Structure 1
Amino acid sequence: MTIEYPGDPNTPRSHLPFSPATRVGNLIFVSGQASVDKTGKIIPDSFEGELRRSMENLRKVLESAGSDLAHVVQTRNYVRDDTDLPEFNRLYLDYFKQPYPARTTLSRCLGGLRYEIDCIAIAKDERS
C-alpha cells in the first residue's frame, strides 16, 4: 500500500517535522491540530476560541484528505486546564454527533496552547 500525504494551500502547516495528515487506503491519520494560522503560527485565544480554530483546522485537513468530521472514528483531545473540561464537553457537541467517535481526553497537558486535537478518519468515498 502507498502512503499519501494530502494537503493544499489552505491546510495549516507547521514548522515542526510532521505532516498534517497521512492516508493509507481509506484510513486518514491527522496530526494534532491547534489554534494556529496556515503558516503554523500559534494564535492565542480563550479556550473556546482555541478549540473552534483547532476544529476548523481539523476540518480543513480532513477535507484535503478526502474526508470530513462525520467520518472521524477516533479523536484524541488535549486540554491544558481541568477547569475547561465542562466547556470542552459542551463545545465538542457542536462538531461531533451521535454516534460519537471513540475518544480519549487528556488534561493538565500542553504548554502555550489551551487545546489540541488529532484523529483517525475514513475517506468519504470508502464509507459503507
Structure 2
Amino acid sequence: MSKFIVQTQDAPQAIGTYSQAVRVVQEETVYLSGQIGLDPVSMEMVQGIDAQIEQVIANLRAVAIASGGNLADIVKLNVYLTDLNHFAKVNEIMGKHFSQPYPARAAIGVAALPRAALVEMDAVMSLEKA
C-alpha cells in the first residue's frame, strides 16, 4: 500500500490526532462499522466516557485485526459524540493508540447514540492488495 499524508499551508493545520488528508494508492478498502463501548464478552456498555472511548478503540482494533489490518491501517475515522466537551478526551486517548501519521478524521456532535452510548466511531481501513 502506498499511503501519503497530504498537508498544505493553504488550509488550517491539524489541531489534534488527525491528518488533513490521507491519499491511498493501489489499496484494498475495508469499511469498519460503527463501534460503541460494548464489552464483547458481557455485551454491556462500559461506564464513563474514558472507559467508553477505550472500549470503542479496542472494538475497532479487534475488527481491524479480523479484517487483516490494524489501527495503523485506518485512513479515515469518524467520531460521534453526544457531548462535544469530550472532544479533548478523545484526542488524549487516541494519542495512546494511534501514532503519526494520523488518519483523516471528523468529529460530530449528535443528539443520541444506540444503547445510550456517549461515543461511537467508524472507520475506513486501507490494506495492501492480497
TM > 0.5 fold call? yes
**What is the RMSD of the two structures over their aligned residues, measured on CA atoms?**
1.9
Paired residues in the alignment total 101
Q: Where does structure 1 lack aligned partners over 5 or more consecutive residues?
A: 1-24
Distance 1:62 1:40, change over 3 A: farther
The 8 Å contact of residues 81 and 107 in structure 1, kept in 2 or not, is answered as yes
Identical-pair percentage: 25
1:30 aligns to what? 32
1:82 aligns to what? 84
Counterpart residue type for residue 82 of structure 1: L
The 8 Å contact of residues 78 and 110 in structure 1, kept in 2 or not, is answered as no
Post-superposition offset of 1:96: 1.5
CA distance in 2, matches of 1:40, 1:116: 18
RCO (CA 8 Å, sep 6+): is it higher in 1 or 2? 2
The 8 Å contact of residues 46 and 55 in structure 2, kept in 1 or not, is answered as no
CA distance in 2, matches of 1:32, 1:40: 18
**Residue in structure 2 matching 1:50, options 52, 55, 59:** 52
TM-score between both structures, scaled by the size of structure 1: 0.71
Post-superposition offset of 1:116: 0.7
- After superposing on structure 2, the runs of 4+ consecutive aligned residues of structure 1 that deviate more than 6 Å are none
More strand by share: 2
CA distance in 2, matches of 1:78, 1:55: 13
CA distance in 2, matches of 1:84, 1:118: 17
CA distance in 1, matches of 2:110, 2:36: 16
1:105 aligns to what? 107
